[in-house]
């Protein structure tokens, strides 16, 4: 499976996720793997919602935004997609990205799930600090379901984060 096809499917899932969580908003979600978030914000006309987006010089696989005009409010979601089990290293890097952009939602997803090491750290040793990028906000590490083209609530590393 090429990378473009899953990213398109992930974008559709993210748009649906944001629309369900934030009804009566305008949602934009698209693959952004080949551009910085700064460029995505500029191209999509989202600078006014994210005044510091000129500093978003990072790339993520999919970006989604939910916007409400009155009162003006925007929600930012970022996604990394992997074709292999998600590793501790990827989690820590992505956590940093979520901190830089002040993401409201951050997901790392893979059809292969996550590594045994990551599972032991989070589930057995309760190292939630590995996933927490802001007070009460956690990177959602999840298994992508190729059949439903979605993340199912039971397929997350840290239950209750989806």
In a domain, 106, yes or no: yes
Condensed to tens digits (0 to 9), the pLDDT of residues 133-159 reads: 999 999 999 999 999 999 988 999 998
Mean pLDDT of the chain: 94
Enter the pTM of the model: 0.95
Separation of alpha carbons 139 and 157, rounded Å: 10
CATH code for the domain in which residue 63 is found: 3.40.1340
In a domain, 100, yes or no: yes
Condensed to tens digits (0 to 9), the pLDDT of residues 98-113 reads: 999 999 999 999 999 9
State which residues form the domain around 78.
4-156
Secondary structure E strands in 14-119: 26-31, 62-68, 73-81, 105-110
Condensed to tens digits (0 to 9), the pLDDT of residues 7-29 reads: 999 999 999 999 999 999 999 99
In a domain, 95, yes or no: yes
The mean per-residue pLDDT over the stretch 36-48 comes to 94
> If we measure between CA atoms, which residue out of 152, 101, 100, 157 comes closest to residue 127?
157
In a domain, 98, yes or no: yes
Q: 136 near 104, Cβ under 8 Å?
A: no
In a domain, 14, yes or no: yes
CB contact set of 51 (below 8 Å; sequence gap of 6+): none
- The SS3 call for residue 133 is strand
In a domain, 77, yes or no: yes
The whole-number pLDDT of residue 1 equals 40
Condensed to tens digits (0 to 9), the pLDDT of residues 117-131 reads: 999 999 999 999 999
In a domain, 162, yes or no: no
Q: 74 near 67, Cβ under 8 Å?
A: yes
* Res. 97: pLDDT tops 50: yes
Task: Specify the number of domains making up the chain.
Answer: 1
The mean per-residue pLDDT over the stretch 29-42 comes to 96
Q: 87 near 112, Cβ under 8 Å?
A: no
């Amino acid at each position: 499976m090429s990378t473009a096809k899953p990213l398109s499917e992930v974008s559709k899932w993210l748009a649906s996720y944001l629309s369900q969580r934030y009804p009566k908003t305008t949602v934009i979600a698209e693959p952004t793997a080949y551009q910085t978030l700064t460029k995505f914000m500029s191209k999509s006309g989202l600078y006014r919602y994210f005044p510091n987006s000129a500093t978003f010089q990072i790339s993520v696989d999919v970006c989604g935004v939910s916007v409400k005009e009155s009162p003006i409010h925007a929600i930012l979601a970022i996604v990394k997609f992997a074709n292999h089990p998600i590793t501790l290293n990827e989690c820590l890097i992505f956590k940093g990205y979520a901190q830089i952009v002040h993401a409201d939602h951050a997901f790392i997803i893979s059809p292969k799930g996550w590594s045994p090491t990551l599972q032991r750290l989070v589930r057995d040793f309760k190292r939630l600090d590995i996933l927490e990028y802001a007070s009460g906000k956690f990177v959602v590490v999840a298994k992508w379901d190729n059949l439903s083209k979605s993340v199912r609530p039971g397929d997350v590393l840290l239950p209750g984060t989806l």
